Amino acid sequence: MSHDVHEVRSFEHPGEGRKRAKATPKGRQVDPTAAHEIEQLLGDRPRRRDLLIEYLHLIQDKYHQISAAHLAALADEMKLAFAEVFETATFYAHFDIVKEGEPDIAPLTIRVCDSLTCEMLGGGQLLQDLQRSAGPGIRVVRAPCVGLCDAAPVAEVGHHFVHQATAAEVLATAARGDVHAHIPAYVDYDAYVQDGGYKLLERLRSGAVSKDDILRLLEDSSLRGLGGAGFPTGRKWRAVLGEPGPRLMAVNGDEGEPGTFKDRVYLNNDPHRFIEGTLIGAHIVEASDVYIYIRDEYPAAREILEREIAKLPPGGPTLHMRRGAGAYICGEESSLLESIEGKRGLPRHKPPYPFQVGLFGLPTLINNVETLWWVRDIVEKGADWWKGHGRHERHGLRSFSVSGRVKNPGMKLAPSGITVRELIDEYCGGMADGHTFYAYLPGGASGGILPASMDDIPLDFGTLEKYGCFIGSAAIVILSQKDSVRAAALNLMKFFEDESCGQCTPCRVGTQKAALLMQKPVWNRALLEELSQAMRDASICGLGQAASNPLTTVIKYFPDEFKEAAE
């Protein structure tokens, strides 16, 4: 429908005759060229509301930016209000919006990670060097954690990541035009099937293995959600199955917690083990459709999944790939659902919970990538096999993402309950040369910071809470005597300030105020602790509730740093 001219009639008032107002254009005009480009870009794809973010990605990928003209044309094509499209596009960091009258964005963007591990290992200097030396046609910007903490510092040239990056190497990569994701060697469909893959799924679908058999094994193994929340997997599946159908399933692959990269390792190496676990979960809860949401910083994983899903034989649920767009908040389960529906990733109020009212208003099973990756092994090898691992009276295996001042960082599959000292010495080759263990993050950015003197705490669910910390997704960042925990806490608070969705005041204002107070030479402890408590008590979701954990643990466990500051 054309929006060029609308005929407007005035209201009739008593005693007045009908008047005809002058015809004038109303609303934002759609540029014919932009309209044609959007129509060509979308082709025969359905114009559904939930695909809005996917179509914004199409525009961004083709034009390296999203102009106001393209936004207006997309809104018109999808029969949506321009404001609705604009507020969604501007919510996500990876959409580069060019407003009317602004110059075009450079055709190539280099993003430099400024998360804690990259900052510790020279990311700040790398950013400055690139901003100073990058030539015309290149834009250099900071970026939050890109999930390559074991290769810090990291820069992303287009969608190609440069590990242990130097400015010279990054600019040489840009000059070569090497801007596409590198696809590593991985276990493909044929190799996976040859090794017994999908046999369990076939037995489940044929009835040789019952739903209850699998649910009982998952419950007996005590497998918990490995995205960070730790909710028992078997109990969650039963809860969703207990809700009236139809039901859906969503996979949380938005691994945005700074320090975390385990899901990337599993998806990039053995994707079908995850896919089979996903299909088993969907079969058990009778989900007709599965939405797999993968963060935009994992282009290789996304391409691998798209390739391998296309190889699956017909039958079973429909698998939909959804691409994140640079919003940490979308790792929160209800924000994830909002994003899959094509909206801003704003957390929902609970109750109702997603297993009751989830995606598109239907009961929805939500699981993390790694949780689903383990389903096949646990069912085939038995609950006792899983529980047979563990240390210090804990049970199971954990995938620890270890980064920072260790000799051999990386994803370490180790027994649940291992201590950080054991993890460093046995799995990481000890501390890096010239560094002495000083402090550690036991659970990523929001899990708090502990001193090296507390190196004997078993790392598992339920063991760290009494110290004001938690294990979350098991991201372990190691600091040495050359690092400042105050600087580390400030880095994390600035991250939360940037990533707050802004919906609730305690988080939006609290993270901003905390970051300002933490930049002062001497911290106002009483005010910071009062602010932290307000954020904890009144924030809608886990971001605001946990954002102050690094701050409060630094105040509690590192008094010497404050004595020096006070002097």
Q: Does 2 fall in a domain?
A: no
For the chain, what is the domain count?
Answer: 5
Percent of the chain with pLDDT over 90: 92
Reported residue count of the chain is 567
Q: Stretch 552-558: mean pLDDT, rounded?
A: 96
Please state, rounded to an integer, the average pLDDT across all residues of the chain: 94
Q: Which of 352, 381, 410 is the last residue of a domain?
A: 381
Residues 115 and 45 in one domain: no
pLDDT higher than threshold 60 for residue 22: no
pLDDT tops 80 at residue 24: no
Whether omega before 246 lies within 30 degrees of 0, making that bond cis, reads yes
Rounded mean pLDDT, 217-228: 94
Q: In this structure, are 515 and 371 located in the same domain? A: no
State the CATH number of the domain containing residue 529: 1.20.1440.230
* 94 pLDDT tier (thresholds 50, 70, 90): very high
**Local confidence band at 27 (pLDDT 50, 70, 90 cut-offs):** low
pLDDT at residue 20 in the model: 52
Q: In what helix (H) or strand (E) does residue 398 lie, and over which residues does it extend?
A: strand 397-404
Computed on alpha carbons and rounded to an integer, the radius of gyration of the chain in Å comes to 25
Is 254:331 a contact under the CB 8 Å cutoff?
yes
Range of the domain at 423: 397-482
Integer CA distances (angstroms), 247 to 240, 250, 362, in order: 8, 10, 6
Contact present, 115 and 261 (Cβ < 8 Å):
no
Both 326 and 279 in one domain: the answer is yes
Q: CB 241: neighbour CB atoms within 10 A?
A: 18
Domain endpoint, select from 176, 204, 229: 176
Whether 22 is in a domain gets the answer no
Instruction: Name the 3-class secondary structure at 405.
Output: coil
Is position 327 within any domain? Answer: yes
For residue range 239-266, list pLDDT tens digits in order. 999 999 999 999 999 999 999 999 999 9
Q: What angle do CA 267, 173, 258 make, to 5 degrees?
A: 40
**HEC per residue, 518-539:** HCCCCCCHHHHHHHHHHHHHHC
Instruction: For residue 414, list its beta bridge partners.
Output: 398
The model's pLDDT over 316-375, given as tens digits with 9 standing for 90+, comes to: 999 999 999 999 999 999 999 999 999 999 999 999 999 999 999 999 999 999 999 999
What pTM did the predictor assign?
Answer: 0.93
Does pLDDT of 267 surpass 70? yes
SS3 466: helix
Position 17 pLDDT exceeds 90: no
In a shared domain, residues 517 and 372: no
How far is residue 72 from each of residues 33, 99, 341, measured CA to CA in Å?
12, 11, 20
**280/340 same-domain check:** yes
- Regarding whether 542 and 429 lie in a shared domain, the answer is no
Residue 50 is part of a domain; what is its CATH number? 1.10.10
| Same domain (yes/no): 316, 332 | yes
Tell me, what CATH number does 164's domain have? 3.40.30.10
The more confidently predicted of residues 91 and 100 is: 91
